């Protein structure tokens, strides 16, 4: 996919976008970070490209609309999921079972340890 | 209470608690590969402190049962996303079948529908050929032959769409027994959960209920409402109750205007279900919106062509020297196609009614037997705005493009929704399944992935914009 040609990246943009969508669906953060670095390098390199290479990139870009639309939607869905999870995280501070009774204490304290405020010592 | 006996009591209680906790952990390990199993964690309850020689001491803990590590908000979000994904999957399946009807040379039984574009061209070209030789019988036969092919392909396409609509209707009707079985099972589980575990997590029973809910979400769009004593009510997204604690309201079906409608009690909920999600929502959207929309376009095309061609042929003189109704209203009409009374249904009914090629009015009203002026006008209809303000060819081309765009749009939605479901399943597995990942790690993974993906998206957008600009400036032929 991302190949070096004459010391320069020669990516199939479509493959990059498709892989990014799949990696995001799988929450493969490592792969996404690799792809981000690759894209940064590609972006830096773009100004040095020849006319033919630019034209090829333009052609690929024109064919990429559908894949980018999918990627954008997956990013949007991830944003929504992240919002939900963030709210959940806040709620978890209190209890995990919203519909049932408050979660019972899961303290790992041993039976011999000093007792705290709730133990009736104060 | 004596000190030594208290100590033994504490030791004994702790050992019992550890033993119970151990059995819960063992159960988790044993069910690590069980689908839908939710990890359980032991609940510890502090015993009342005791006073020994004036000092209050804790008396350890007692294991009071297990609580499953489930998160109803996350699960509900997952169910909602599954409803959307299932709806777009079933709708996409129907749209792909529709689109296949209009693919040229698709090889299917209805392949001829895909040739409508070339049929339109051939039909109007046949008038151009007639224009060059207006008395030639072969040219006249060719006009009728091309008209027959065009009408046959349009009506075949309409028949194919109607057949597809009935097939989707059957799929939709087939969903209901599954829905009723699941709501019945959930109601039963509700009753069991409420009687056995009104104050806490019911473990396996809740796992089963969640699995049934997940399956239900793939079939129809529902809302979940937690009720007292660990109960659960389920409604359609528009509020019709399907499950109320221990009882369920089955959905019934019946035929209305030739298609299946769905009821809760006496209330028709078909329209609500169509927009609610689940595979049923997708089927109903395809049945009641997509397919009728495509049929309506086909009707407009056939109505526009038939009406314009018939009117123009009636404005000329046929080879027998007889004018059409446009020349003399008392004359019998010189209709090439059956004249549709209304737009709706005209595609399915489109046929060629003219059998005698001599009745094609190639001559204008003032022309003689060799006149070709009306044939020229008929040929020119190919470029006239006869179908909803567009030429027949442009209208059909636009229709096929719009259909393709609709399919692509639903495909995009479907891919994104399935990705979202996959993400949420990963999150839920991290939280509920038996593994070593904890919630914080799962959250971090989600945040990292989102940030990296956002970066990839932004850079790719920049690259594309730059590339397109550069490409325009330095286009290489």
Residue A8 has what pLDDT? 44
Which of B389, B407, B425 corresponds to the end of one domain? B407
Identity of the residue in B14, B448, B467 whose CB atom sits nearest the CB atom of A57:
B467
Write the pLDDT tens digit of every residue in B411-460: 988 998 999 898 888 877 766 544 444 666 777 888 888 999 999 999 88
Please say whether the beta carbons of B87 and B282 come within 8 A: yes
State the alpha helices, DSSP H only, in B37-136.
72-101, 116-132
Q: Are residues B197 and B106 in the same domain?
A: yes
Write the pLDDT tens digit of every residue in B60-72: 545 445 455 556 6
Q: Are residues B256 and B139 in the same domain?
A: yes
**Minimum Cα–Cα distance from A96: chain B residue:** B71
Judge whether B460 lies within some domain.
Answer: no
Judge whether B422 lies within some domain.
Answer: no
Q: What is the domain extent for residue B325? A: 71-407
Write the pLDDT tens digit of every residue in B147-176: 999 999 999 999 999 999 999 999 999 999
Q: Which residues 13-52 of chain A have a CB within 8 Å of chain B?
A: 13, 16-17, 20-29, 32-33, 35-36, 39-40, 42-43, 46, 49, 51-52
CB contact under 8 A, B446 and A79: no
Judge whether B400 lies within some domain.
Answer: yes
Q: Are residues B275 and B331 in the same domain?
A: yes
Under the banding of pLDDT at 50, 70 and 90, the label for residue A100 is very low
Identity of the residue in A20, A86, A115 whose CB atom sits nearest the CB atom of B453:
A20
Q: Are residues B57 and B199 in the same domain?
A: no
CB contact under 8 A, B226 and A106: no
Tell me which residue of B446, B89, B200, B316 sits closest to A79, measured CA to CA.
Answer: B446
Which of B358, B391, B407 corresponds to the end of one domain? B407
Tokens matching residue B325: 């109704």
Judge whether B142 lies within some domain.
Answer: yes
**Minimum Cα–Cα distance from A105: chain B residue:** B44
CB contact under 8 A, B226 and A121: no
Q: Are residues B106 and B210 in the same domain?
A: yes
- Return the top range by mean pLDDT from A13-17, B28-32, B270-274: B270-274
Judge whether B64 lies within some domain.
Answer: yes
Q: Are residues B182 and B36 in the same domain?
A: no
Residues A15-40 as b/e (b if ≥16 CB within 10 A, e otherwise) read: ebbbbbbbbbbbbbbebbbbbbebbe
Q: Are residues B65 and B75 in the same domain?
A: no
Judge whether B432 lies within some domain.
Answer: no
Identity of the residue in B58, B456, B467 whose CB atom sits nearest the CB atom of A46:
B467
CB contact under 8 A, A13 and B427: no
Q: Are residues B205 and B313 in the same domain?
A: yes
Q: Are residues B86 and B39 in the same domain?
A: no
User: Which has more confidence, B142 or B477?
Assistant: B142
User: Chain B: nearest CA to A54, how far in angstroms?
Assistant: 6
Which of B23, B39, B69 corresponds to the end of one domain? B69
Alpha-carbon distance of B151 to B466, in angstroms, equals 49
Residue B468 has what pLDDT? 76
Please say whether the beta carbons of B273 and B218 come within 8 A: no
Write the pLDDT tens digit of every residue in B38-47: 555 545 455 5
Q: What is the pTM of this model?
A: 0.72
The residue of B72, B415, B462 whose CB has the most chain A CBs within 10 angstroms, and thus the best one to mutate to test that interface, is B415
Q: Are residues B46 and B180 in the same domain?
A: no
Judge whether B458 lies within some domain.
Answer: no
Residue B86 has what pLDDT? 94
Q: Are residues B19 and B92 in the same domain?
A: no
Q: What is the 3-class SS of A25-61, one letter each residue?
A: HCCCHHHHHHHHHHHHHHHHHHHHCCHHHHHHHHHHH
- Tally of domains within chain B: 2
User: Which has more confidence, A8 or A45?
Assistant: A45
Q: Are residues B120 and B235 in the same domain?
A: yes
CB contact under 8 A, B476 and A29: no
Judge whether B313 lies within some domain.
Answer: yes
A90 and B CB contact within 8 Å? no
User: Which has more confidence, A51 or A114?
Assistant: A51
ipTM of the complex: 0.70
């Amino acid at each position: 996919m991302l190949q070096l040609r004459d010391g320069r990246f020669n990516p199939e943009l479509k493959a990059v976008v498709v892989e990014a969508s799949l990696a995001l669906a799988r929450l493969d953060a490592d792969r996404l970070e690799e792809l981000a670095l690759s894209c940064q390098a590609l972006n830096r390199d773009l100004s040095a490209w020849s006319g033919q290479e630019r034209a090829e990139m333009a052609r690929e870009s024109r064919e990429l609309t559908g894949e980018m639309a999918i990627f954008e939607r997956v990013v949007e869905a991830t944003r929504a999921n992240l919002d939900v999870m963030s709210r959940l995280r806040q709620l978890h501070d209190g209890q995990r079972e919203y519909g049932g009774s408050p979660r019972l204490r899961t303290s790992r304290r041993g039976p011999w340890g000093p007792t705290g405020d709730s133990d009736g010592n104060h | 209470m004596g000190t030594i006996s208290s100590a033994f009591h504490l030791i004994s209680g702790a050992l019992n608690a550890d033993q119970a906790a151990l059995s819960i952990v063992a159960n988790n390990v044993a069910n690590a590969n069980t689908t839908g199993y939710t990890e359980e964690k032991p609940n510890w309850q502090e015993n009342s402190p005791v006073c020994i020689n004036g000092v209050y001491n804790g008396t350890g803990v007692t294991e009071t049962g297990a609580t499953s590590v489930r998160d109803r908000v996350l699960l509900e979000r997952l169910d909602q996303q599954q409803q959307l994904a299932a709806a777009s999957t079933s709708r996409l399946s129907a749209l792909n079948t529709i689109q296949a009807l209009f693919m040229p040379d698709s090889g299917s039984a209805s392949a001829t529908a895909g040739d409508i574009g070339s049929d339109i061209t051939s039909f109007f070209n046949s008038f151009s050929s007639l224009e060059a030789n207006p008395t030639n019988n072969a040219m006249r036969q060719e006009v009728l032959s091309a008209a027959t092919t065009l009408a046959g392909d349009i009506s075949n396409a309409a028949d194919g769409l109607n057949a597809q609509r009935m097939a989707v209707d059957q799929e939709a009707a087939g969903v209901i027994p599954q829905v009723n079985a699941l709501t019945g099972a959930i109601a039963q589980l509700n009753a069991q959960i409420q009687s056995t575990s009104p104050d806490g997590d019911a473990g396996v029973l809740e796992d089963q209920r969640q699995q049934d809910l997940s399956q239900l979400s793939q079939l129809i769009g529902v809302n979940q409402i937690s009720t007292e004593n660990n109960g659960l009510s389920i409604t359609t997204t528009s509020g019709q109750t399907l499950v109320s604690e221990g009882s369920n309201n089955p959905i019934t079906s019946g035929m209305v205007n030739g298609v299946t409608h769905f009821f809760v009690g006496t209330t028709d909920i078909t329209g609500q279900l169509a927009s609610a999600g689940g595979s049923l929502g997708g089927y109903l959207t395809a049945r009641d919106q997509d397919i009728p929309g495509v049929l309506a376009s086909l009707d407009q095309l056939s109505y526009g062509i038939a009406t314009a061609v018939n009117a123009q042929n009636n404005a000329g003189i046929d080879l027998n020297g007889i004018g059409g109704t446009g020349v003399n209203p008392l004359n019998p009409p010189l209709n090439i196609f059956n004249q549709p009374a209304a737009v709706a249904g005209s595609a399915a009914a489109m046929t060629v009614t003219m059998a005698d090629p001599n009745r094609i009015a190639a001559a204008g009203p003032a022309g003689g037997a060799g006149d070709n002026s009306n044939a020229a006008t008929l040929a020119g209809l190919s470029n006239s705005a006869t179908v909803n303000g567009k030429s027949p060819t442009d209208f059909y081309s636009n229709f096929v493009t719009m259909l393709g765009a609709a399919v692509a749009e639903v495909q995009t939605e479907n891919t994104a929704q399935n990705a979202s479901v996959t993400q949420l399943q990963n999150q839920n597995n991290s939280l509920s399944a038996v593994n070593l990942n904890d919630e914080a790690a799962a959250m971090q993974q989600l945040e990292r992935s989102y940030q990296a993906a956002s970066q990839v998206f932004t850079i790719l957008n920049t690259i594309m914009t730059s590339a397109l600009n550069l490409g325009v400036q330095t286009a290489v032929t």
